[in-house]
Chain A
Amino acid sequence: MEVVGQLQKQYVDFITSLFREAYLDDQYVQLQKLQDDSNPEFVVEVVSIFFEDSEKLLNDLASSLLVSISLFWVFILCLRPSLLLMVVLFFLLFLFQLYSQQQVVDFKKVDGYVHQFKGSSSSVGAQRVKNACVTLRNFCEEKNLDGCSRYLNLVKQEFYLVKNKLETLLRMEQQILQAGGTVPLLEQVPLLWKQ
């Protein structure tokens, strides 16, 4: 069928571009190999678990880098100071927390979360996410809060990018199947793009 052929070609082009741009790596192909008629939804299931897991991890990560800030503000508000005093205190504390965060953040905990994230992204083949996690872990080891915050943003960004790509990819697979075709599988990632 003309339609199926076209859909398949679009699919191959798209997934090839994902490999080329390192959104996905060979591990994704490995997952596809585990899917068959007895388990036709395997990749979707794994990817869904990855999405859920990751959202939770990103939340945990964000909050573990932030907890020290909120405590100070809560403390101030509880004192019920006069307006002027409150302004002064807020200002002082704003400066103080920049210093104190370095001491208060539990980098070991943050590292633990990132390690988990690195593991799960590697298991689904989300290469760019994994690489960003590796760099983020280095910042954790150095206890570099600024680096951590910046790279957490990058990790988050990469995650949402690959999430978007994967959702598109899986949707394209569905379209092919609904049109009566089969999803073409890359045997393995072409050497050119393997890293």
Chain B
Amino acid sequence: MDKNVVFSRLRRLEKNERLDNDLSSSSDSDEVHVLAVDDSFVDRKVIERLLKITSCKVTVVDSGMRALQFLGLDEEESSDGYDGLKVDLIITDYCMPGMTGYELLKKIKGSSAFREIPVVIMSSENVLTRIDRCLEEGAEDFIVKPVKLSDVKRLKNYMFGEGRTKSQDKGFNKRKLQETSPSTSPSLSPTSSISPEQSSDLSSTSSPSTPSSPAFQDSPTRRFKSSNQD
């Protein structure tokens, strides 16, 4: 990904905060394409809507196996095994029958073609060991269910708001431990500026940050504006 694509994405994000996103427009490389994995029908419906409303392209599957099939990673590992559009983010439930979210995470991080795709884990259980395990395995973030709009907005903005750099401090959000109110954005003091040079590969630096460093701190005011209203 080079600079131009990033900046056109920025413009688009600004324009399309809440758009009726017609996802029949294919091969739109400006939009973030998210692969969501959850075995629960209710949760699939909710996460799909959450992602669409934040202007993401969404593909929803009901199992880890289907996710791997979609990526083209199920049988053989071919470097160009993309089945369709490139996936920018994978968000998966942890507890699933068959292949758990953790196992899916391991498979993705273990594949040379796909390990650069950020993976976010969702779980209804706020278990510290589980969170740590996922982060150590390379998960980008860990969201406690039920997932809210503010979670998705925050996620999208810190991952794709200013460019796909991972040099910034990406702590995870143990939302339930931190707060009780739904709107979670604390007042931001943007520490690092937008760094336009981003690595062409999203190297998953799986260094779990300390719990006290939430992801908010490293993003600029634009995210503050968009995520604050929820």
Contacts and interface: CB of A to CB of B under 8 A. Distances in A.
A191 B183 CA distance: 12
Interface string A106-119: 00000010011011
B45 A122 contact: no
B218 to A, nearest CB: 26
Contacts of B148: 27, 30
Interface in A99-152: 112, 115-116, 118-120, 122-125
Given A119-B145, A123-B40, A31 B46 contact: yes
A34 B149 contact: yes
Interface string B179-190: 011110000000
Interface string B46-79: 1001100100000000000000000000000000
B124 interface: yes
B46 A123 contact: yes
B84 interface: no
A123 B45 CA distance: 10
Contacts of A31: 46
Interface residues of A, number: 30
Interface in B95-109: 95, 97
A112 B147 CA distance: 21
A120 B95 CA distance: 13
A30 B40 contact: no
Contact of B20 (A30, A38, A53, A119): A38
Interface in B170-198: 180-183
Interface string B8-22: 000000000010100
A120 B40 contact: yes
B42 interface: yes
B41 A53 contact: yes
B43 interface: yes
Contacts of A115: 95, 124
Contacts of A49: 41-42, 45
B182 A30 contact: yes
B146 A46 contact: no
A22 to B, nearest CB: 15
A47 to B, nearest CB: 9
Contact of A45 (B20, B45, B146): B45
A34 B53 contact: yes
B83 interface: no
B42 A120 contact: yes
Contacts of B41: 49, 53, 120
Interface of A: 26-27, 29-31, 33-34, 36-39, 42, 45-46, 49-50, 53, 112, 115-116, 118-120, 122-125, 188, 191, 194
Which 4 pairs, one residue from A and one from B, show the smallest C-beta to C-beta distance? A38-B20, A120-B42, A27-B146, A123-B146
